[in-house]
C-alpha cells in the first residue's frame, strides 16, 4: 500500500465513491446500519455527495475520503452534526474490508480529531459504536475516546456512545 492521503470529499468523487461503497456494502452492513438500496446507484451517490458538500458549506459536516494512489478510495471519515456554539461534533468512519487491520481507521480518526481541534475549534467529539463492532471500538479506545455514562445516553440497544475531550 502506498501512502494514504486524507482529503475533503469532492463532487468529482461520485464514481469512485460508488465503487467503494458497492464493493464494501456487505462488509459495512455487518457492522453498521444498512443504507437504503437507492443509495447504490450513480444518482444515489450523487445526491449523497451533494448533500454532504452542502452541509460542509453550511459548517454542519466535514466529509473526508482516504485514498491510496493505486487503489483509489479506501475509506471515509466525517465530522458530522458540527455544532460550533456548543463546540461538539460526531465522528464517523469506514474503511474498506481489504484495507482493515492496517491502521487506516486510526489514521482517519486522528485526522478528524486534528481537524476538529484546528479547523473547527471544537472541544468535544462523540461516536456511537455497536458492542459487537470490536475493531471500531479498539480504534476509539486507542484514540482516547471514553464510554459516556449510561445515564446520559439515549442509545439503541447494543450501542455505546463514547466521548473525547479536545
Quickly state the pLDDT bin for 33 (edges 50, 70, 90): confident
Residue 57 belongs to a domain with what CATH number? Answer: 3.40.630.30
Q: Which residues contact 71 (CB under 8 A, 6 or more apart)?
A: 1, 99
Q: What is the pLDDT of residue 2?
A: 61
Kindly report, residue by residue over 99-137, the tens digit of the pLDDT: 999 999 999 999 999 999 999 999 999 999 988 899 999
Q: What is the pLDDT of residue 151?
A: 37
Average pLDDT of every residue of the chain? 93
Q: What is the pLDDT of residue 84?
A: 83
Nearest CA-CA partner of 23 in 102, 79, 76:
76
**105 is in which domain, residue-wise?**
4-165
Q: What is the pLDDT of residue 135?
A: 92
DSSP-based helix, strand, coil % in the chain, nearest 5: 40, 30, 30
Tell me how long the chain is. Answer: 166
Buried residues in 25-50 as b, exposed as e (16+ CB within 10 A): eeebeeeeeeeeeebeeeebbeebbe
State how many domains the chain has: 1
- What is the phi/psi pair of residue 113, to 5°? -60, -45
Amino acid at each position: 500500500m502506498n501512502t494514504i492521503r486524507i482529503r475533503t470529499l469532492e463532487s468529482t468523487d461520485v464514481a469512485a465513491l460508488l465503487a467503494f461503497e458497492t464493493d464494501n456494502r456487505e462488509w459495512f452492513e455487518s457492522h453498521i446500519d444498512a443504507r437504503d438500496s437507492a443509495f447504490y446507484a450513480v444518482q444515489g451517490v450523487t445526491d449523497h455527495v451533494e448533500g454532504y458538500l452542502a452541509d460542509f458549506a453550511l459548517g454542519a459536516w466535514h466529509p473526508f475520503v482516504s485514498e491510496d494512489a493505486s487503489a483509489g478510495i479506501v475509506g471515509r471519515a466525517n465530522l458530522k452534526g458540527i455544532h460550533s456554539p456548543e463546540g461538539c461534533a460526531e465522528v464517523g468512519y469506514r474503511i474498506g474490508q481489504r484495507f482493515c487491520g492496517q491502521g487506516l481507521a486510526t489514521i482517519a480518526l486522528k485526522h478528524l480529531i486534528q481537524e476538529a481541534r484546528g479547523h473547527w475549534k471544537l472541544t468535544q467529539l462523540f461516536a456511537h459504536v455497536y458492542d459487537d463492532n470490536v475493531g471500531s471500538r479498539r480504534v476509539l479506545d486507542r484514540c482516547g475516546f471514553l464510554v459516556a455514562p449510561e445515564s446520559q445516553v439515549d442509545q439503541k440497544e447494543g450501542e455505546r456512545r463514547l466521548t473525547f475531550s479536545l
